[in-house]
Amino acid sequence: MRRITILNPKGGSGKTTLATNLAAYYASRGFTTALMDFDPQASSSRWLKVRPATLAPIHGIAAYQNLPGVTRSYQLRVPPGTTRVVIDTPAAIEPHRFDEFTREAQAIVVPVLPSQIDIHACAKCIEHLLTSAKIKRREDRIAVVANRVRPNTLVFRSLMRFLETLDIPIMATFRESQNYIRSFELGLGLHEMRAERSLPDVEQWAPLVAWLESRGQAIGSGIEAAR
């Protein structure tokens, strides 16, 4: 089983967009997929509620709720046979909580928008992942995704320069696209839309999903060894 955590305390950076699209991608490729929603705003959970029953199922876990009378681990359990778990985290989480979301994850994806405020917030986020959550660079578990990008803008170039200084791989750049908004409303992932409409966006996901697939069990045991 692989766990992928989408994390960036900066609000609106694209966490839920990444989490829902990734979960839909895995489900549509035949993986038994769970989507864990830690955000009390419950955006991922709402997306899952409108997802058509005819599409590949995704098991939703409303992790933001604290159910009385059941243990936390029981509440967060995934169905037997689950092979992919995608974790959507809320905005404004404190660094001391990062470890809670990243501990068991083979990959941590940090979406960042091209703006000076977001660049600054992303730098802090990466710093806290490396310090508070004690993730080592050599584990190669963290990747950044530049989201809502308009290439050839000054701020985009500034974002890319900054990301290069971090020595954390930039696994994808997603353009600003109505397809994200439209598919979200319909409970779909990009990969489940009509190809003629979504192909330019789908192509931008290829390096990210390839990298995620390379974060296998071997990496998981590497994490244990590094502890």
Ligand X SMILES: Nc1ncnc2c1ncn2[C@@H]1O[C@H](COP(=O)(O)OP(=O)(O)OP(=O)(O)O)[C@@H](O)[C@H]1O
Distances (CA, A) of 37 to 81, 152, 163, 168: 20, 35, 27, 25
45 binds ligand X (CB under 6 A): no
> For 35, phi and psi rounded to 5 degrees?
-120, 115
Question: Is residue 16 involved in binding Mg ion (CB under 5 A)?
Answer: yes
**Cα angle vertex 185, ends 181, 187, to 5°?**
115
Does 115 sit near ligand X (CB under 6 A)? Answer: no
What separation in angstroms does the CA of 15 have from each of 12, 89, 118, 149? 7, 7, 13, 15
Cβ-contact 109, 208 below 8 angstroms? yes
**Footprint of ligand X on residues 70-109 (CB under 6 A)?**
90-91
- Residue 176 binds ligand X, judged by CB under 6 A: yes
Size of the site for ligand X (CB under 6 A): 20
Q: How far is the CB of 113 from Mg ion (least distance, A)?
A: 13
Min dist CB 174 to ligand X, Å, is 4
What's the DSSP call for residue 157? H
Write down the least CB distance from residue 226 to ligand X, Å: 28
User: Contacts with Mg ion in 29-68 (CB under 5 A)?
Assistant: 43
Signed CA dihedral, 207, 141, 39, 14: sign only = negative
* Residue span binding ligand X (CB under 6 A) among the ranges 10-18, 30-38, 115-123, 126-134: 10-18
Binding residues (CB under 6 A) for ligand X: these are 11-17, 39, 41, 43, 90-91, 147-148, 174, 176-177, 180-181, 184
